[in-house]
Structure 1
Amino acid sequence: MAISVAENARLLDAEQRLLVKADQDIEEGWQRIRDQEDRVRELQVGGHDTRQAQRLVDLLKQTLIEWERHRVLIAQRVNYLQQQVAAGKLEAG
């Protein structure tokens, strides 16, 4: 069963919105990491134990890697749907 051009266009629009959100989330994630790294440095200067704070930085980075992998999947889906919409328009045109 073929999906209509209109349905592919609707799916494309939804995936493009997800891609924008993923980009925003990733940028905010990098900012959180920078903020946490600043806190670690402040703690180090103050002579405090920074193991847990550094562990949080590491966990944030691991999470961000997964977010970036997910973003790649969304971008691939967007590309696929763009091709489907373009092909459907050519067939209909």
Structure 2
Amino acid sequence: MALSLAERTEQLNAEQRLLVKADRDIEEGWLRLRNQEDLVRELRTDGHDTRQAERLVELLQQTLVEWERHRTLIEQRVIYLREQVDPASPGGR
């Protein structure tokens, strides 16, 4: 069954909210990563074992890569839904 314009518009609005959240989460994630990298440098300078802290940096980096991939999927869905809601607009914009 095909979705109505109202249903597609509702989906578009929901995806746009998810895109805003993804942007915010990614920005906060990069901030956490930079903070962790600063902590690793401090620990290293003070002569502490940094293996676990370095592992956390790696995990944060991997997580951010996945978040950015997910954000791209959300963005593609937004573009698709915009085209469904307003086919006359180029790229749905």
- TM-score, length basis structure 2: 0.91
1:26-79 residue CA offsets vs partner (Å, 9 max, x unmatched):
000000000000000000110111111001000000011100000000000000
In the alignment, residue 14 of structure 2 is paired with which amino acid?
A
Which residue pairs with 1:69 in the alignment? Answer: 69
Structure 1: give runs of 5+ residues left out of the alignment: 89-93
Task: Kindly report the root-mean-square deviation, in angstroms, between the aligned alpha carbons of the 2 structures.
Answer: 1.1
Task: Could you list the structure 1 runs, at least 4 aligned residues long, displaced by more than 3 angstroms after superposition.
Answer: none
Q: For 2:25, what is the secondary structure of its paired residue?
A: helix
Structure 2: give runs of 5+ residues left out of the alignment: 89-93
In structure 2, what is the Cα distance between the partners aligned to 1:21 and 1:3? Answer: 25
> Does 1 or 2 have the higher relative contact order (CA < 8 Å, sep 6+)?
1
> 1:87 Cα deviation (Å)?
2.8
In the alignment, residue 13 of structure 1 is paired with which amino acid?
N
How many percent of aligned residue pairs carry the same amino acid?
Answer: 69
Which residue pairs with 1:3 in the alignment? Answer: 3
Which residue pairs with 2:12 in the alignment? Answer: 12
In the alignment, residue 68 of structure 1 is paired with which amino acid?
E
> 1:27-38 alignment to 2 at 5 Å?
27-38=27-38
Q: For 1:2, what is the secondary structure of its paired residue?
A: coil
Which residue pairs with 1:91 in the alignment? Answer: none
In structure 2, what is the Cα distance between the partners aligned to 1:79 and 1:66? Answer: 20
Q: Computing the radius of gyration over CA atoms, which structure comes out larger, 1 or 2?
A: 1
In the alignment, residue 61 of structure 1 is paired with which amino acid?
Q
In structure 2, what is the Cα distance between the partners aligned to 1:46 and 1:84? Answer: 58
- TM-score, length basis structure 1: 0.91
